[in-house]
Amino acid sequence: MKEKTRAETARPQSAARMQQEQRPRVASPLTAEEMLRLPEECDKPLPGDINRELATPRIYLHGVAQRTQIDDYLSAVQGMEASWSIKLPEGAGVGLPGRSAERLDRAAVVIPEGHCTTPYKPEWSGLAYQPRIAGEFRHRMLRSAKGRIIEPYYGIYDNPDARKVYWPSQYPWRCTGRIFTYTTWPTPNWAWSGSGVLIGPRLVLTAGHVAPWGKRPWAMLFVPAYWDGASIFGAGASSYVSDYRGWNTGGSTAHDICLLRLYNPLGNSLGWIGSRTYDGAWEGGNFWALTGLSGSHRRGQPARVSVRCSCARRRRGRRCSAARAPRRFLTRRVRRTRVRLLERRTPRNRHNQRGRDDQRRIPRHRQ
């Protein structure tokens, strides 16, 4: 009877094992070393129609019913040649506001495992597996109360800072851009900004906290290949966001994802990267490179950092450095002082004096 029970329990296990073996294996991403061995493709000259489209600046006016209203409010600037001003009518604004926003329930949206979207590279575009490094980045130096010059570092990265500034002209690195969020449109000032990436002709993938949830009227502007205040492809290489969708996470940051739809299909001119569902077999692999525009970098230059994040550390009850994301930073010299203080402290008064010593001897600077 016992042997029969063991045989019966072995059948579903063997069936599950066979089903797992029949499941097609997903190829793992390339490592940084493997990508270095791949030949790169150079860009061809940018076609004239695409160059004119991206280089031509545009001004969008919303809330104007008829063209005659613009002619009535158009006037020449006195004292300046070839200069005109437009006095907008009441209720009008510069830019295009968003139309719709919605939070989706993750349980109600079924995404098949292994689902992917195809990337697109224009015919004129080459391919660069490594970005073109623009120069060494250094944080802006700070002066302490005693006049000492110190260099801060950002806590979620290595010390010294592992991020590298790159020139965003090549594919796929130019697909990354900056997003400006307006929560009180049509006021001209944006409330905050973030990073996003083109994954379709009109689709941009970004973090959920970049979206203006609960704000009306709102507006968002996406600028690909952002460098020093504008896109490197011209003043016309930008688009306002018409709609966005994101997960209803209930305040959790585990699924902080949002999808934006653009008014203009910038991906048809610049290309877009592919996407696919995550595979748990990739966890802990040295495959990943974070790219984006950080507020700690001056002039909003794009930066890249290679990371290796394993969920094994989370299983032990700890979070990785990328998930910690502290909102303060310390200096290199102060950190060494902190280690020396902890080594000198005796076990008896270590717990009582730690907080007071840190507050007295370690200055902290808010981001």
User: Which amino acid, one-letter code, is at 319?
Assistant: R
Question: Tokens 């944080």 appear where?
Answer: 139
Cα 297 from chain centroid (whole Å): 14
Query: Which tens digit of pLDDT belongs to each residue from 74-107?
Result: 889 998 989 989 888 888 889 999 999 999 988 8
230 & 283 share domain: yes
- The closest of 63, 103, 61 to 86, measured between CA atoms, is 61
Residue 106 and residue 125 in one domain: yes
Q: Is residue 201 part of a domain?
A: yes
Same domain for 350 and 311, yes or no, is no
Total residues found in the chain within this entry: 367
* Whether 197 and 337 share a structural domain: no
* Residue 341 scores a pLDDT above 50: no
Would residue 11 count as lying in a domain?
no
Confidence of residue 363 (pLDDT cuts 50, 70, 90): very low
Residues spanned by the domain of 45:
38-62+85-328
Are both 320 and 345 inside the same structural domain? Answer: no
Q: What's the burial of 241, exposed, middle or buried (CB within 10 Å: 0-12/13-18/19+)?
A: buried
Residues 355, 267 within the same domain: no
pTM passes above 0.85? no
Residues 290 and 349 in one domain: no
Cα–chain center distance at 346: 45
* Residues 186, 54 within the same domain: yes
Residue 31 inside a domain? The answer is: no
Kindly state whether residue 67 falls inside one of the protein's structural domains. no
CA dist., res. 186 & res. 96, Å (int)? 9
Residue type, 226: Y
Q: Quick one: pLDDT at residue 35?
A: 84
Contacts of 322 (CB under 8 A, 6+ apart): 156, 290, 307, 309
Q: Is residue 206 part of a domain?
A: yes
Of 124, 126, 120, give the one whose Cα is nearest residue 50. Answer: 124
Give pLDDT tens digits for 53-75. 999 999 998 988 888 777 778 88
**117 is a domain residue:** yes
For 26-42, the pLDDT digits (tens) are 677 888 788 888 899 99
CATH label of the domain that carries residue 163: 2.40.10.10
Q: How many folded domains does the chain comprise? A: 2
Whether residue 349 sits in one domain with residue 289: no
Domain presence at residue 12: no
Rounded to whole angstroms, the Cα distance separating 205 from 267 reads 13
Is there a single domain that holds both residue 144 and residue 282?
A: yes
